[in-house]
Amino acid sequence: MKIKKIFIFISIIITIAAAVLLALFYVNQSHLKLTYSSQTQNESSALLPNPYIGFYHLYGFSLSDESCSEAEKLAEKITQNKTNSLALLEINLKNFRTKILSENALSQLETLLIRCENSNKKLILRFLYDWDGKAKTTEPDNLSQIITHIEQVSPIINNHKNAVYIMQGIFVGNCGEMNGTVYMSKDNMLTLINNIDKNIDKDIFLAVRTPAHYRTITDLLVPPDNTEAFSGELRTRLGLFNDGMLGSDTDLGTYGTSSFKGTDKPSDKGTRSEEIEFQNKLCSFVPNGGECVVDNQFNDFNNAVNDLKNMHISYLNCDYDSAVLNKWRQDLFTEEGAFKNTNGYDYIASHLGYRYFVSASNLTYNRSKDTTAALNITINNSGFAPAYKKFKSKLTLVNGTDNKEYNIDFDNRLLKSDSKVTISAKINTADLTKGTTYKIYFEMEDNSSIPAVKINFANEQLSENYSAIFLGELNVK
């Protein structure tokens, strides 16, 4: 009994001692002196090779009953282009206008998607039955045949969704542009888009040709706001594509010539200014892009920049219209800053989509109260559009082998164009080693790509070792 009492007494003493030591440790940690020296950040004018944005090349392929050899050749051509992260791939189905897609045809499609997926090439995918403005003669004679084709290609697309960023159109129209076809009644349009929406994975954006098409499909006169964004519902995954962009006052019929104010018909087209304002709201959370065509005043450099910004354009054809693109190359951006005297084409190329720049960082820490420190990071987006994919944000503290990583809860999709936000990374002071200086780096990566792709920032102060931004040094005493 005496031995038992001694054992209990010793156990109590050990417990008290451990508690005292632990308390002293936490008191010591909570009273660490942290000194943060931030790195001055300068913006570069570099063209950033980031996913989902930029100029693209257009490639076309007709599915057939042949082997996959031609599909392999085209896939090689697409993936060998390392300059553009995006590609527009048009898949022509006219060989099957009267029948289901064959196993060979489906294998050709899968070959193209597999190769692009393995090389991290992101596709804008458009299915059609016509390249020559003769959709009425090349499309199936009944809607059910088109729906069967949608159902056949969908599993392949979904299995390789990491390669497919956007699906443009609803399978019909001259060049797949939803015109010149017998299938553009409201009922037919809804049948086609609802089948696409039902069958295609929600991670893939869809797109229609005009704002009026969007309104007709969703029955909305006003776009949803950001509180509904990224829900996966059709109205929040349906973007736009415009292959008549900046081509005239109406963008070659994309807009109307009279106001739609006071209308109760979603299908009515508004004036240019009204439709651009509609896109300004809608394309805060769904992508927009296409081709700039026909040399005219609306695509003069300054006018183009203003409209591309307000429409939130993420991607453009780099081959067409060459007259417009060459006109931009002859002009200069003259405002003060990193891009002063940059030619217009390069300026636009650098601002398609999102363009992130970390402009400042600072530390918030109350030595007497806090057990966590907050590193506050200000991120600017000077691009024409937001990012529509969520990226992983991470802070790394580096000191030889004593490295610490902190994931940051930040939804970058909500960082709108021409705006900035300050995010906070929490650092547990108990993780820090007294008498140590840590170099701090910030980075983002796209985890929907396999392997993950680092997001490039417009900062001159990028780390060679960490593919990240060097924010500053944290001294722990």
Contacts for 245-248: CB closer than 8 Å, 24+ residues apart: 245/290, 245/291, 245/292, 245/293, 245/313, 245/316, 246/292, 246/293, 246/296, 246/298, 246/299, 246/303, 246/304, 246/307, 246/324, 247/292, 247/293, 247/294, 247/296, 247/298, 247/299, 248/294, 248/296, 248/298
The answer on pLDDT for 30 being more than 60 is: no
356-364 vs 342-343, strand pairing mode: unpaired
Name the domain boundary from 319, 351, 383: 351
pLDDT of residue 16: 54
Closest CA to 125 of 78, 170, 166: 166
Q: For residues 178-203, give the mean pLDDT.
A: 98
Instruction: Say if residue 307 is in the same domain as residue 433.
Output: no
**Predicted confidence band at 368 (pLDDT cuts at 50, 70, 90)?**
confident
Name the domain boundary from 326, 351, 376: 351
Give me the domain span that covers residue 467: 32-46+355-476
Query: How many CA atoms within 13 Å lie on the side-chain side of 366?
Result: 3
pLDDT of residue 13: 60
Q: For residues 65-78, give the mean pLDDT.
A: 97
pLDDT in tens, 255-294: 999 999 888 899 999 999 999 999 999 999 999 999 999 9
Instruction: Say if residue 343 is in the same domain as residue 385.
Output: no
pLDDT in tens, 428-443: 999 999 999 999 999 9
Instruction: Say if residue 446 is in the same domain as residue 310.
Output: no
pLDDT of residue 149: 98
**Predicted confidence band at 159 (pLDDT cuts at 50, 70, 90)?**
very high
Instruction: Say if residue 205 is in the same domain as residue 226.
Output: yes
Instruction: Say if residue 370 is in the same domain as residue 221.
Output: no
The CATH code of the domain that includes 428 is 2.60.40
Average pLDDT over the chain, rounded to an integer: 93
**Predicted confidence band at 142 (pLDDT cuts at 50, 70, 90)?**
very high
pLDDT in tens, 216-226: 999 999 999 88
Q: For residues 146-172, give the mean pLDDT.
A: 98
Instruction: Say if residue 203 is in the same domain as residue 288.
Output: yes
Instruction: Say if residue 16 is in the same domain as residue 36.
Output: no
Instruction: Say if residue 217 is in the same domain as residue 166.
Output: yes
pLDDT of residue 369: 84
Q: For residues 223-246, give the mean pLDDT.
A: 95
Q: For residues 133-146, give the mean pLDDT.
A: 98
The answer on pLDDT for 5 being more than 70 is: no
Instruction: Say if residue 200 is in the same domain as residue 345.
Output: yes
pLDDT of residue 14: 58
Name the domain boundary from 308, 334, 351: 351
The answer on pLDDT for 19 being more than 80 is: no
- CA dist., res. 136 & res. 128, Å (int): 12
The answer on pLDDT for 6 being more than 60 is: no
Instruction: Say if residue 26 is in the same domain as residue 36.
Output: no
pLDDT of residue 448: 86
- CA dist., res. 90 & res. 126, Å (int): 5
Q: What is the total count of domains within the chain?
A: 3
The answer on pLDDT for 77 being more than 90 is: yes
Tell me how many degrees the CA angle 73-78-84 measures, rounded to the nearest 5: 165
Give 83 or 14, the one with higher predicted confidence.
Answer: 83
Q: For residues 459-463, give the mean pLDDT.
A: 80
pLDDT of residue 27: 45
Instruction: Say if residue 361 is in the same domain as residue 424.
Output: yes
φ, ψ (nearest 5 deg) of residue 355: -145, 100
- Centroid of chain to Cα 335: 27
Instruction: Say if residue 182 is in the same domain as residue 320.
Output: yes
